[in-house]
Amino acid sequence: MCRRRFCSLCWDEEKPVAKKVVLAYSGGLDTSIIIPWLRETYGCEVVAMIGDVGQQEDLEAARKKALATGAASASIEDLREEFITGYIWPTLRAGAVYEHDYLLGTSFARPVLAKRQVEIAHQVGADAVAHGCTGKGNDQVRFELTYKALGPELQIIAPWRQWAINSREDALTYATAHHIPVEQSLKNIYSRDRNIWHLSHEGGRLEDPRNAPEEAMWQWITAPAKAPESGAEVTIGFEAGTPVSVDGARLGPVALIDTLNALAAAHGVGRIDIVENRLVGIKSRGAYETPGGTLLVQAHRQLEALTLDRETAHYAQALALRYAELVYYGLWFTTLRESLDAFFTRAQQ
């Protein structure tokens, strides 16, 4: 038996062959170490896909990093407007919130990324797709259900379920051994995910439910105690359940959320610290910052209270719960989710 700690050849003696793999790449710890691992393990060409969903990161630096660590090509895909109009707005119209509090910021970002991966795989003639999701989280399911729905012929490679790296500490050791620069350290071990809708924090001190989130963990929303005492008023305009304006000014989807994010974040709106039931059967604690999204969800609820008749409103509440579960479980590209959309589209008219 090989004694190398992170040997890429030992996980499966009869591993399938992949010649060209499209990787959902972020530049973070997980995906940074996957590029050399894929090349070592499969001897394949790696195509890195960097999806811009409004994460406010240096994506060009990530693209260069992907190339420097062995990707044959790397592209930045601007998915922000598609993400908002095709995923966020339908979920908002449905009033879908998972387990009372979670506004699904990570959940509905995965299908749009995976969809673009499959599209690129078809364009470049790839025979496999890969992601950097762990074997204990929800995201692996969200990516893979989308792959199966849109590209069932593609092989799926999930390194975190295959290699001998079992923790972030192991991943950092691998990165150091392969001279891969990463921002995480053994002292700064939070796992974060950001897009135009939210910023999530997991791991670190949050693993112990007795620990309150430290103030230094929050990166976006002003501490409520330090927010302006005077508050602010904002008017959000909707058409058929879709936000279209702020204080009377019509805005495109990206500008509208950016505007509300800035306002809400400055006033300390949108922080939550929750424990949720993961799809994979374990409980997970997460701290989330969703400034503009919190305003939109609350405004939409008040709008429905004014406009929907009782029977429609009560039935919509029941369906909203199911819609939230479908989004959280990664079942975006399903007949049921699309059918629920038809109901909510009619109800919002």
Short-list 151, 98, 144, 102, CA closest to 125 = 151
DSSP 31-93: HHHHHHHHHHHH--EEEEEEEESS--S-HHHHHHHHHHTT-SEEEEEE-HHHHIIIIIHHHHH
* Total count of residues recorded for the chain: 349
Question: Active site residue: 8, 139, 194, 337, which one?
Answer: 139
> Do 295 and 236 touch, CB atoms closer than 8 A?
yes
* Distance linking the first and last C-alpha atoms of the chain: 65
CA angle at 242 for the pair 88 and 219, rounded to the nearest 5°: 45
Burial letters for 97-133: b for 16+ Cβ neighbours within 10 Å, e otherwise?
A: bbeeebbbbbbbbbbbbbbbbbebbeeeebbbbbbbb
**23 phi, psi to nearest 5 deg:** -105, 130
Active site residue 139: yes
Short-list 83, 108, 105, 92, CA closest to 240 = 92
Question: Active site residue: 30, 284, 285, 337, which one?
Answer: 30
Active site residue 191: yes
The separation between CA 236 and the C-alpha centre of its own chain, rounded to angstroms, equals 25
Sign of the C-alpha dihedral computed for residues 40, 41, 42 and 46 taken in this order: negative
Active site residue 110: yes
Helices marked H in the chain — which ranges?
Answer: 29-42, 59-68, 80-83, 89-93, 109-124, 139-150, 168-177, 253-266, 291-307, 310-328, 335-347
Question: Active site residue: 26, 191, 200, 284, which one?
Answer: 191
Angle at which helix 109-124 crosses helix 139-150, to 10 degrees, equals 40
Question: Active site residue: 93, 110, 168, 271, which one?
Answer: 110
109 conformational bin, left if phi > 0, alpha if psi -120 to 50, beta if neither: alpha
Report the C-alpha gap between 344 and 90 in whole angstroms: 8
Active site residue 30: yes
Q: What positions carry a catalytic annotation?
A: 30, 110, 139, 191
